[in-house]
Amino acid sequence: MNSNRNREMDKQTIYYKKWDLSSKHTECLVNNMKEKNNEFLYDLSLGIYKQFLSELKGHSIHIKKTDTVIQCWNTMLQTTLRNPSMDIKKKSIQLLHQTSIQHCE
């Protein structure tokens, strides 16, 4: 019984750590997206996403494509790559940042 409780607590700790790291990296992204052109914004987003993944691995946190945090990042990346509107691209980054903050609290 106790091991199930510990396992669930570990899952919860990892869940919050993923979102906490996401929040840290999205804050960096938000702070650097002002007045950038379309290509630069995608490159910046992709670079920070790779740093995020690297930091997760550095903390020995395993990730899956089905993880909500990964799906959110991938949605933002696809938006910054494919949507022609700079305003929508920036809003997608801001939404990811807001989501990350809300999930790590």
Structure tokens at 84: 């022609």
pLDDT digits (tens, 9 = 90+) for 60-95: 999 999 999 999 999 999 999 999 999 999 999 999
Q: What is the CATH number of domain 2-104?
A: 1.20.120
Q: Give the pLDDT band (50/70/90) at residue 16.
A: very high
How much is the pLDDT for 34?
A: 75
Q: Give the pLDDT band (50/70/90) at residue 2.
A: confident
How much is the pLDDT for 1?
A: 57
Q: Give the pLDDT band (50/70/90) at residue 99.
A: very high
Domain ranges, ordered by start, for the chain: 2-104
